[in-house]
Structures are given as C-alpha cells and as structure tokens.
Chain A
Amino acid sequence: MKFTWFHLMPYRFLPEDFKDKYRSVWVDIPRDLYDPKVGHRLYNDYLDQLEYADSMGFDGLGVNEHHQNAYGLMPSPNIMAASLSRRTRNANLVVLGNSIALYNPPIRVAEEFAMLDVISGGRLIAGFPVGTSMDTNFCYGEVPATIREKYYEAHELIMKAWKARDVFSFNGKYTKLRYVNLWPKPIQQPHPPVWIPGGGSVETYDFCADHDYQYSFLSYFGYIAGKKVSDGYWEVMAKKGKELNPYSLGFAQVVAVSETDEQAEKDYSPHMDYFYNRCLHVYQGFADAPGYRTVKTIKAGLLGQVGERAALARQDLKWKDFVDQGYIIAGSPKTVRERLREAMKSLNCGHLMILQQIGSMPPELVRKNTNLFATEVMPHMRDLWSEFQDRWSPKRDMKDVAMPGPVYFEKAGTNGAARAAAAASTEVRVGK
C-alpha cells in the first residue's frame, strides 16, 4: 500500500456567512475575500506541511490545478512541485495534474514536467486531468463541446514529444507545430508514470485501461460513495482483460487521526464543516457546462461532486454522519487502521491520496494528524497488496542525486567570501 500526502491548499478564512452571502466558492468568488498577506502565510505553511510529510515517509506529495477557486489555491501546481523538488529528498512529486487542453501549445506541459523530473532526479508522476468544468469552461473559456477532443489531442502530442527520438512535426486540429523537439527530456525514460485524475466520467476508465495509466478518483465523498466509481473502473478493466492490480487505482480520502475517537471529533469537526459547507459551495450553473460531460456519462447517473444538487445531499450532515457515511475516516489510530484497511480493500485501491489538511485546519493540527498517521497507521498498512507490483510509480534508479546547496539569509553583497566557499563545497556531482 502506498500513500500520497495530498494538499488542496484552501483559503482558510472565508467568512462565517459565506454560504448565505455569496453564490460560489469558485469562478466568480469576490476578490476582496482574498488577502495576499494571509495568502503568503498560507502558501508557506502548506509547503511546510508537504515537506513535513516527506520527512515522515509518505511515498508521494500531491498537488493539483484549480482556477479562481478558494479551496484550491494552485492555478499552477508546477510552481509548488518546483519548490518541493528542491526542499524534499524522497517523496515522489505527484502533480495531479496539468489540465493539458488549457495550454497553448500543450507542449508547454511536456517541457515543464520534464524540467520537474530532471530537477527532482526522476521523482515526477505526471497527471493529465481534463479539468473540471469550472476550471476549463468557465474560468479558461474552453468550448465545452470540444474540450475532450482537445484534451485527447494534447495528450497525443505530449506523449509523442516524450517518446520521440527525433524532431517531428505535429499537424493536429488544435495545435500545429513545425518543429517538436523536447529540451530537456525527462530522466524517467521514455516518460514519467502517468496518472489520470477523474471525477467519474466513464470515458476515463477506457482511456486509462487502454494506455495502462493509473486512474485516480479524486472524490470528496469518501470510500462508500466512491465504490460506485471504482466498481465501474474495475468492470472496464476486467472486460478488457487487464490485470486487476490495486496500484492502478488511486483514491482520495479525508483522514483525521487523533488520540481517541472522541478527541478526533473535537479536533476536526469544525474544519470538516468548513470544508463541506464553505469550500464546496459552488453555484449549480457552474457545475456542469452543457457538453462538458458526455451523454454517456450523464446517463450513467454519475452526478458531479459540486453544485447545489450535490450540496443538498450533505446539507444536514453532522460529524457522526460524515464518519458513518465514509466521507471522512476519523478517530483513534486503531479506528483509522481498521476503517482504512476495509476501505482500501473494498475499492481494491493501492494508492491512497490522503487528505490530512482539510478546510480551515490550522498547521499544528495538520502536523498532529500527519504525525499520528505516519507513525501509528501507515506502518500497519504497508503489507496490504504486497503480492502486487506497483508499475505506476517512479523506479528511482538514479545513483547520484544532486543536493541543493545550503541556504544563506545574509544581505546580498555582505558575505561574498562565505557564499563562494559554500558554492565550492557543493559542486554538482554528475553520475555516470
């Protein structure tokens, strides 16, 4: 069993009456609610938390892309991953991902991912989401009817650019390039592992199965509701005669550990409320632009996770309901061990995207949650799925990994000699 410590990077200070006063946390949320000085603190706290997770032995650090969104402050996850690539040593950088249809040309993603892979010494996991309707259609203006076609074309271009040995031309419908020539190319050859984050579109199952990509279901509703999607995925995999390897499925789950079950409620209950009632307050009209989901998906009855209809389903939920219905796995280490094992077994899932900072959770509580999980839960779950091979993680076969030099905070120009000495002592080692 493997664990990616995933951050959404929410704005923690939305007003109490947010839900009544404003129609959406996403797309047209008033700019006045964002204070960049608070934002400065938050970004640095959140990067600290990801770095802490690395030090606690998590397999991956997860970041993702959202736009004009108060619960996801990463318009560019690559900037976060770049920062992490220098300040962490062990964990994989799970960028889930770049909405590739939004980049013009999409080769930009192939380049930036290659940069991240090279800087980090081959630790990148490349995520290619279509992106939500809010992000792609409403914020970035993509035509709903063509976003999927554009996505598939962007994917074809990026993969070709990673695999090609020579310069090639690409005559696509949406992108035309005379000279495609990736400099730099990724360390992981021919390309980093590809994970496809999905929200339940049935086409994505086939796409993952056909390309041998890992499918990551990023749900906020927990493992009980998520089973409908994982069942759909495994059904497609079985039908196509693919190995039912748990490592080909990732699942996002909110996990909150405390000393006892009672203490967990005291610690985390207000932050759950903040997340589900303020962070996921999305105007219904933005939830699903016409044409964003295919008719096939609509008919499969997989409702989106956001919007008023989704909100109705959880409007009166209390802590006990959140726990009982599996939105959150919470309690003492023992409780969490048991529930989580049951959850991962029921989904047949080998990659947990664990959400341990949620909503308004402050740094000290995040650290406690992460620490308790890493020391009291994670070691007891490592044996799960040991009979399977994880073919969707970096192999990490680089012998000689460059280390960042020491950090100096002295004012520029005041201590040139010390800087020069430091630079000399940390010259880059190049492996053969």
Chain B
Amino acid sequence: MITTQKVLNGKFSLEMHTFGTGGEPLLFIHGAGGLMPMEPYLEELGKTFKVYAPQFPGYGESTGNEHIDDIGDAVCFFHELMDELGIPTAHIVGHSMGGMLAAEVAAFDVHRAKKLVLIAPAGFWIDEHPIADLFATDLTQIAPLLFHDPNSPAAQMMTAIPTDFKVLETMYVERVKRFATASKFLWPIPDRGLKKRAYRIAAPTLLLWGDDDKLIPPAYAKEFTSRIKNCKLELIKNAGHMVMYEQQEALVGAITKFLKG
C-alpha cells in the first residue's frame, strides 16, 4: 500500500491509499467507519487490479468535508476525483455507505462504472426490516451488530476499546469526525432518493451480502436487484456486515471473478 496526500480542485486534500501497480483501475469507496490503517482485502485485490481507495473528506487526513452536504456534492466529488486520477471510467466497489455512494456515482453518470460491486450497500429503507441505529450504538455493543462472530479475533480487534485515556480520546474524536460526516448521508434514515435513480445504473452489477448481516439485513438485496437491470446477488456464508474481515477470501474471490469475467 502506498499512502499519498492528493489535492483536488483546491477544496480537498485527500489521504489516498493505492494498492498494486498494474491491472485495470478499481475505485474503492469505504463505509461509514472509513479505512483502517491496514486493509488486507484491498492488498489482495491489488494483486489483480490497480486499487484507488481514498479516505472520504472528513476521514483520517482527508479534508474538505465542509464542501459536501449531500449526495449531489458527494457524486460530483467522486466524478472529479476519477477525472483527476485519469480513470474517468473504472470498476467501482463500495461497502455499506460506500456501496450507496458507488451506486449513486454510477446512476448519476452511467459512463463512470465499468462494472459495479456493491457490498452490503445502504441507500434504502424497508419498514419491516429497520436498519439498526449504528449512531446510537455504544462502542461496547457494536461487535455483535457488525460481525457474524463477535468473539472472533477480527471482530475483537476491530472493536477493541483502548484502556489508555489518551488513545481512547484520539479514537473517540476520529470516530466522531467520521460518523458526523456519514450522518450527512445516513441520518436519521439512510434513504436519500436512490430509489428514484437506481434504474439508470447501466454497468453490470454484483451485489455481495453476508448471510448474517445484522446491520443491513440481506432482505435489502431485492431493492437493488429489482431496480438495476443487470444485477446479481451472491450471499456470503458465515459473514455479518463486515464481510471483508470475516470472509476475505470468499469476498475477494467473488469480486475478482466478476470483474475479470
């Protein structure tokens, strides 16, 4: 992984993570939690693709969050970023909130996504299947919500609460920054009108979902499959919302097969 700071349009300074050196370009859009310092599944994807994974403005070292209020602003941001990176068309992969944004990027301008992969994407609301309130979930209760097996080493590592106060404060402040940004798209209900635009998505689309996702249940898949012309669903076994940490091999395998196919 290489981390660089990229300036965009005088408004944004982006913490850009890139993985791999060759292969077709792939833009990865992260979820509400943002990118972690190490992302092994992106390293894996980097063996086949040239992966561009920016921290969204407001996350980590990325600035310019004040220029983005809503979906329209976010989509413009990604379109501009792709142009600036010299990849006006690319494979686009997004997880959770990032899946929602990826779908919007592909719906607003149908020429942007070569192929689209949505991993447990947000963007819809079904009264019968209310999405759990991530924002009101205390740190101590977050592991069972996000993981199939909250006791697994991956889940424990991801949700550990530091005992050192300084470290805890730093983590808390960063979490507040990230979730505050996410709240622009997800608060209080993560429906910002994708239902009006999803039909426009022209790229072949793969929908990946952990079969035990307790945050956004797989029941939401039909909102995508019923609207996107060329969209297929693959459930990943023994995975919760954080599919990539629980079933990395299955996930990377499915993405690679779909994008290379």
B184 touches A143 (CB 8 A): yes
A30 at the interface (CB under 8 A from B): no
Contact A285:B137 (CB < 8 A) given known A146-B69, A298-B176, A299-B173: yes
Contact of A283 with B by CB under 8 A: yes
Given A298-B172, A298-B173, A291 and B136 touching (CB < 8 A)?
A: no
Contacts of A291 in B (CB 8 A): 176, 179-181, 183
Contact call B187/A143, Cβ cutoff below 8 A? yes
Tell me whether A144 and B183 are in contact in the complex, defined as CB-CB below 8 angstroms, given that A285-B133, A291-B176, A298-B176 are known contacts.
yes
User: Interface size of A by Cβ–Cβ distance < 8 Å?
Assistant: 19
The digit string for A281-313, where 1 denotes a CB below 8 A from any CB of B, is: 001111001110101001100000000100000
- Residue A317 at the chain B interface, CB threshold 8 Å: no
- Kindly state whether residue A145 has any CB partner on chain B within 8 Å: yes
In chain B between 151 and 191, which residues have their CB closer than 8 angstroms to a CB of chain A? 169, 172-173, 175-184, 187-189
Q: Specify which chain A residues have a CB less than 8 angstroms from the CB of B181 in the assembled complex.
A: 145, 291
Judge whether B138 is part of the interface by a CB distance below 8 angstroms: yes
Given contacts A290-B135, A290-B180, contact A144 B187 (CB under 8 A): yes
For A308, the chain B residues whose CB sits under 8 A away are: 138
Contact A143 B183 (CB under 8 A): yes
A289: nearest chain-B partner, CB-CB: B135
| Interface membership of chain B positions 179-213, coded 1 if the CB is closer than 8 angstroms to chain A and 0 otherwise | 11111100111000000000000000000000000
Residues of A within 8 A of B176 (CB): 290-291, 293, 295, 298
Chain A residues whose C-beta falls within 8 Å of the C-beta of B173 in the assembled complex: 295, 298-299
> In the assembly, what is the distance between CA of A141 and CA of B188, in Å?
5
Q: How many residues of B contact A (CB 8 A)?
A: 23
- Is A137 an interface residue, CB under 8 A from the partner? yes
A71 interface residue (CB < 8 Å to B): no
A247 within 8 A of B: no
A31 to B244, CA, bound (A): 40
| Contact status of A145 and B183, CB under 8 A, knowing A290-B175, A298-B176 | yes
A144 to B187: give the CA distance in the assembly, Å.
8
Partner of A290, one of B69, B141, B179, B189: B179
Chain A residues near B141: list those with CB within 8 A.
Answer: 285
A138, A143, A290 pick with most chain B CB within 10 angstroms: A290
Q: Which residues of chain B (56-87) have a CB below 8 Å from chain A?
A: 69
A285 x B183 contact (CB < 8 A): no
Partner of A141, one of B172, B180, B187: B187
Residues of B within 8 A of A299 (CB): 169, 173
Residues on B with C-beta less than 8 A from A295 are 173, 176-177
B183 touches A290 (CB 8 A): yes
CA distance A291 to B173 in the complex (A): 10
CA distance A195 to B232 in the complex (A): 58
Whole-angstrom distance between the Cβ of A278 and the nearest chain B Cβ: 21
Nearest chain B residue, comparing its CB with the CB of A138: B136
Cβ-defined contact, A286 with B188, below 8 A? no
The chain B residue sitting closest to A299, CB to CB, is B173
Q: From residue A121, how far is it (CB to closest CB) to chain B in Å?
A: 41
Q: Do A289 and B183 touch across chains, with their CB atoms under 8 A apart?
A: yes
B180 in contact with A145 (CB, 8 Å): yes
Looking at B172, B175, B181, B183, which has the most chain A CB atoms within 10 Å of its CB?
A: B183
Contact residue among B177, B182, B187 (Cβ-Cβ distance under 8 Å from A137): B187
B169 to chain A: which residues have CB within 8 Å?
298-299
In the complex, which residue of chain B has the Cβ closest to the Cβ of A292?
A: B180
- Roughly how many angstroms separate A432 CA and B136 CA in the complex, as a whole number? 56
How far, in whole Å, are A146 and B69 apart by their CA atoms in the complex?
A: 8
How far apart are B8's CB and chain A's nearest CB, in angstroms? 20
A301 CB to closest chain B CB (Å) equals 9
Residue of A nearest to B174 (CB): A295
B136: which of A141, A143, A145, A286 is its contact (CB, 8 Å)? Answer: A286
CB distance from A396 to the nearest CB of B (A): 43
Q: Which residue of B lies closest to A28 (CB)?
A: B136
CA distance A299 to B184 in the complex (A): 23
Assess whether A283 is in contact with B183, with CB atoms less than 8 Å apart.
no
**When chains A and B are docked, how far (Å) is the Cα of A123 from the Cα of B189?**
41
Closest to A288 in B: B176
- Say yes or no: B136 contacts A144, CB within 8 Å: no
Within 8 A of B (CB), among A159-189: none
Contacts of B133 in A (CB 8 A): 285
Contacts of B184 in A (CB 8 A): 143, 145-146
CA distance A138 to B141 in the complex (A): 18
| Min CB–CB distance B54 → chain A (angstroms) | 19
A-B contact pairs, 25 of them (CB 8 A): A138-B136, A141-B187, A141-B188, A141-B189, A143-B183, A143-B184, A144-B187, A145-B180, A145-B184, A146-B69, A283-B136, A285-B135, A285-B136, A285-B138, A289-B135, A289-B136, A290-B135, A290-B182, A291-B183, A293-B176, A295-B173, A295-B177, A298-B173, A299-B169, A299-B173
A283-B136, A290-B180, A291-B176 known; 8 other A-B pairs, CB under 8 Å? A138-B136, A145-B181, A145-B187, A289-B136, A291-B180, A295-B173, A298-B172, A298-B176
